[in-house]
Structure 1
């Protein structure tokens, strides 16, 4: 990751809000609605963050919104971004999200409760 590019994008209005909100898969339209961001700005920020590897297409990939059109869902790809300054050098490191599939665990819990009943 180019540190200057990462800092430049994180410094843009709405980018940190989008990253914070994209802990769960959301479309650019959903992010726009939730954060009260102009939709064109939301799409631009999402695209820039995805190019940097900070957002990723969700594995499920697509959703059909209210319009019935296919929408790409995005999810934050990192849990932490660390920027270090060492003399004249600047580095950016990131800690990626764990790939534990919480949705599968949730479905399993729901299934277990419905089969076994409430205890």
Structure 2
């Protein structure tokens, strides 16, 4: 992953908030509503984060109106940026499947 591209993408308005809230699957519409983001911007930001591998499509669900929509979940738990004298290094910690399953169970219990 290119560190400069990653930092540039994380510096875009709304991207950090999208990553923070997608600890559980969310649609672009849900992100738009929860974070007060224009819907077109929500779709663009989701696409940017997917291109970098920070967000992935988790599956599909049905909205209250019965429409099928894609849901997205972040696939990283941590991003570490190290600034050196001559270089820039980025390290990510991927989200584990076990953690995903545990979060799903916990979300179901809370809901």
TM-score (norm 1): 0.81
**Where does residue 69 of structure 2 map in the other structure?**
71
Q: How many residues align?
A: 106
**Where does residue 32 of structure 1 map in the other structure?**
32
Distance 1:15 1:104 in 2: 26
**Where does residue 89 of structure 1 map in the other structure?**
87
Mapping for residues 105-116 of structure 1, pairs under 5 Å: none
Deviation at 1:85, TM superposition (A): 1.6
String of CA shifts for 1:80-110, please: whole Å, max 9, x gaps: 1011122221111100112111235777x8x
String of CA shifts for 1:19-45, please: whole Å, max 9, x gaps: 000000000110000111100111100
Higher Cα Rg, which structure: 1
TM-score (norm 2): 0.87
Deviation at 1:12, TM superposition (A): 0.7
**Where does residue 42 of structure 2 map in the other structure?**
42
Secondary structure of residue in 2 paired with 1:62: strand
**Where does residue 6 of structure 2 map in the other structure?**
6
Relative to structure 1, is the Cα distance of residues 105 and 10 closer, same or farther in structure 2, using a 3 angstrom cutoff?
closer
Deviation at 1:68, TM superposition (A): 2.7
Where structure 2 has 5 or more consecutive residues not aligned to the other structure, the ranges are none
Where structure 1 has 5 or more consecutive residues not aligned to the other structure, the ranges are 110-119
RMSD (Å) for aligned C-alpha atoms: 1.7
Secondary structure of residue in 1 paired with 2:97: coil
